[in-house]
């Protein structure tokens, strides 16, 4: 069923498009654009490689730290995720939404950390795009992706390392950077550009369960889910172009995707045939 522009506007017309800012944002407003000592126990070698912006997202304003130095970016990732223990960071990881990190004054913050490399470590020649254009689109895509995680955390209470979350975030990022959802690019980001073959090093392997070992058959089913749901999503968006017209339409799409039950999202093919669709 195709939803009309009127249907979209009716649900959201009396609501604010953007959430109110969280209390910690006031501290960032005082310093404006520039650098901010968010990390109390971290010493960077090159603070000039980091630029900070207070960015307006659907989830409210949030500080975004842009990092040009990949080594510095990976150092911060290790501090945040692994308490300073050096780990190998996948080349496909170029961003992180920080939850509850404390500054030198003990105030808890949320922020987004972005690198400036190619998105998902996909090279421009792989997708036939100009390198500078792809670098700029990568930044926009990455920023929208992480802002989507921030929105789902505030609106629905979830921000997980899972296929559903990543499809939602990549969808919003692709729309923001390309003006449309690109099924082909999502598959490449996941390592499924030659589906049913899987390219090791694609992001999909990062979304396997952390509390147990996923069997080979389960991972194949996850690949199948990613491929079919992405294709179905592109068809749905093409039938409902109003999603792409303005912020109201984008927010409607974001809410629709976030409202899908996570278990049915990833295990749908264990329980039902491919004829069962998520977006009808």
| Angle subtended at Cα 163 by Cα 162 and Cα 169, rounded to the nearest 5 degrees | 95
Give residue 275's pLDDT: 54
Q: Nearest 5 degrees, angle CA 219-CA 224-CA 227?
A: 125
> Is-above-0.85 flag for pTM?
yes
Q: List alpha helices for the chain, DSSP H.
A: 5-12, 25-31, 70-82, 131-156, 163-178, 183-190, 216-239, 247-258, 262-271
Residue 142's pLDDT is 97
- Residue of 253, 247, 256, 278 lying closest to 19 (CA atoms): 247
- Give the per-residue pLDDT at 104: 66
Low-confidence ranges of the chain (pLDDT < 70): 1-15, 30-42, 47, 104, 263-264, 266-276, 280
**SS3 breakdown of the chain: % helix, strand, coil, rounded to 5?**
50, 10, 40
């Amino acid at each position: 069923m195709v939803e009309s522009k009127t249907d979209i506007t009716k649900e959201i017309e009396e609501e604010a498009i953007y959430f109110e800012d969280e209390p910690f944002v006031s501290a960032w407003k005082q310093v404006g654009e520039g650098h901010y000592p968010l990390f109390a126990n971290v010493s960077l070698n090159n603070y000039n490689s980091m630029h900070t912006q207070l960015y307006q997202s659907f989830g409210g304003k949030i500080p975004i730290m842009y990092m040009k130095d990949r080594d510095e970016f990976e150092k911060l990732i290790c501090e945040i995720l692994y308490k300073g223990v050096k780990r190998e960071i996948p080349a496909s990881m170029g961003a992180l939404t920080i939850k509850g990190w404390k500054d030198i004054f003990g105030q808890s913050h949320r922020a987004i950390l972005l690198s400036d490399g190619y998105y998902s470590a996909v090279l421009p020649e792989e997708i036939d795009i100009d390198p500078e254009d792809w670098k700029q689109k990568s930044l926009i895509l990455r920023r929208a992706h992480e802002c989507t995680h921030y929105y789902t955390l505030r609106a629905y209470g979830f921000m997980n390392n899972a296929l559903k979350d990543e499809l939602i975030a990549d969808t919003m990022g692709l729309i923001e950077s390309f003006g449309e959802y690109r099924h082909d690019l999502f598959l490449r980001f996941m390592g499924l550009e030659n589906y049913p073959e899987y390219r090791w090093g694609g992001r999909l392997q990062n979304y396997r369960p952390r509390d147990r070992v996923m069997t080979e058959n389960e991972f194949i089913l996850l690949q199948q889910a990613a491929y079919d749901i992405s294709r179905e999503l592109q068809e749905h968006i093409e039938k409902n172009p109003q999603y792409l017209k303005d912020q109201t339409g984008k927010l409607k799409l974001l809410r629709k995707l976030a409202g899908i039950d996570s278990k049915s999202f990833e295990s749908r093919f264990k329980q039902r045939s491919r004829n069962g669709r998520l977006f009808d």
